[in-house]
Homo-oligomer: A and B are copies of this chain.
Amino acid sequence: MKVNRFMENPLVTPGDVSPYHKGFEVIGAFNAGVCRYNGQIIMLLRVAERPVSQESGKVRIPVVNIAGGQGELRIIELDMEDSRFDFSDPRVVKDVKKGKAAYLTSLSYLRIARSRDGRRFTVDESPFLYPELPEESFGIEDPRITQIGDVYYITYSAVSEKGVGVGLVSTRDFTAYTRHGLIFPPENKDVVIFPEKIGGKYYALHRPVPKDLGAPEIWIAESHNLLHWGNHRYLLGLREGCWDSKRIGGGAVPIKTEKGWLEIYHAADGNDRYCMGAVLLDLNDPSRVIARTKGPILEPETEYEREGFFGNVVFSCGVLLEGDQVYIYYGVADSSMACAQLSLKEIMDALVEI
């Protein structure tokens, strides 16, 4: 498959974003939702910031303390000699005894980057969406934008010590927004809402992470109003020994084609190498999987994809379509944003019936 990466890549890097918090540095501007709005191309960036470390041997954890709807930034300082914690993953601090994450090393929120040509972006000065709910005290991550009529519905990961759930806000102008709370409880991520009703119902892909039985795989749910979801069904799973053997989740908002709904999804293998693949779902019953690409359609190859805060990652939360051209906007190495241009026909041709 021919992958035309933009010459301008990476399009936005942490250096292009001024920190919102005093005394903080931006370490990531990545995993953006993408849409067209009012003649602009918008990337809704996940911006990750952390305190500029002032003392070696310490890790300073940013948390938004939320009480009565008011957020207050708080720093938790951990000693790297503290044997209760494992600091080996740059993204999270693990509780050794519990064998699971206790804190994130950075605080994420959503911030808009705007462009006329989809290549040169200007980043807004302040956040579009910042933690406000108790369930968002560790941050807001990985947005997807679905336009339905003139309303843009934005799903995102809501992270707190209570777990990772999925929140929903809607906006008409990317200035004001309405909050709709969490639409999926923990542990869930990677929710993409289909852009129209199918047989009278809205559909969404979601990615539960069960603790005991099961694996991080893609499910599908239904709704009448986008706020309340039900009829959850298992949809698409891991493939042992393949590039999508460890975790898999929805990526871009599904693209309507004559042959079905084309979903460009992400997956990782046992080495945490993240690639993008594609799957085709039935046009009238998206709970039916028709075909899937065998290999990835996009994988980390360039230096900006292989090296960074968390390397060997390409991770798309949104694409734009123009004729046969699919513009895959994607986060690279949990650091920056890039774009690659692929042929829709070539992606469709790569699908293998299941």
Binding site for B on A (CB under 8 A): 100-102, 134-135, 138, 159-165, 180-188, 206, 208-214, 217, 219, 221-225, 227-234, 237
Contacts and interface: CB of A to CB of B under 8 A. Distances in A.
A226 B229 CA distance: 10
A134 B233 CA distance: 9
Given A181-B232, A227-B230, A187 B159 contact: no
Contacts of A102: 213
Contact of A228 (B181, B217, B228): B228
Contacts of A223: 228
A194 to B, nearest CB: 15
Contact of A211 (B183, B187, B221): B187
B100 A182 contact: no
A2 B162 CA distance: 35
Contacts of A101: 212-213
Nearest to A237: B162
A289 to B, nearest CB: 13
Contacts of A186: 208, 210, 213-214
Given A208-B163, A224-B225, A225-B224, A183 B230 contact: yes
A324 to B, nearest CB: 35
> Closest 3 A-B residue pairs measured CB to CB?
A163-B214, A228-B228, A187-B210
Given A162-B234, A228-B224, A230-B227, A212 B100 contact: yes
Contacts of A183: 230-232
Contacts of A232: 135, 165, 181-185
Given A208-B187, A222-B228, A228-B230, A213 B162 contact: yes
A219 B181 CA distance: 13
A25 to B, nearest CB: 24
Contact of A230 (B180, B213, B214): B180
5 contacts: A159-B213, A162-B237, A184-B232, A187-B211, A222-B228
Given A211-B211, A212-B100, A206 B185 contact: yes
Contacts of A212: 100-101, 163-164, 187, 209
A315 to B, nearest CB: 18
A219 to B, nearest CB: 5
B211 A209 contact: yes
Contacts of A219: 185
Given A185-B206, A185-B219, A221-B185, A160 B228 contact: no
Nearest to A235: B162
**Most chain B beta carbons < 10 A, residue from A102, A214, A221:** A214
A182 B224 contact: no
Given A227-B230, A227-B231, A214 B161 contact: yes
A333 B223 CA distance: 39
Contacts of A165: 232
Nearest to A94: B212
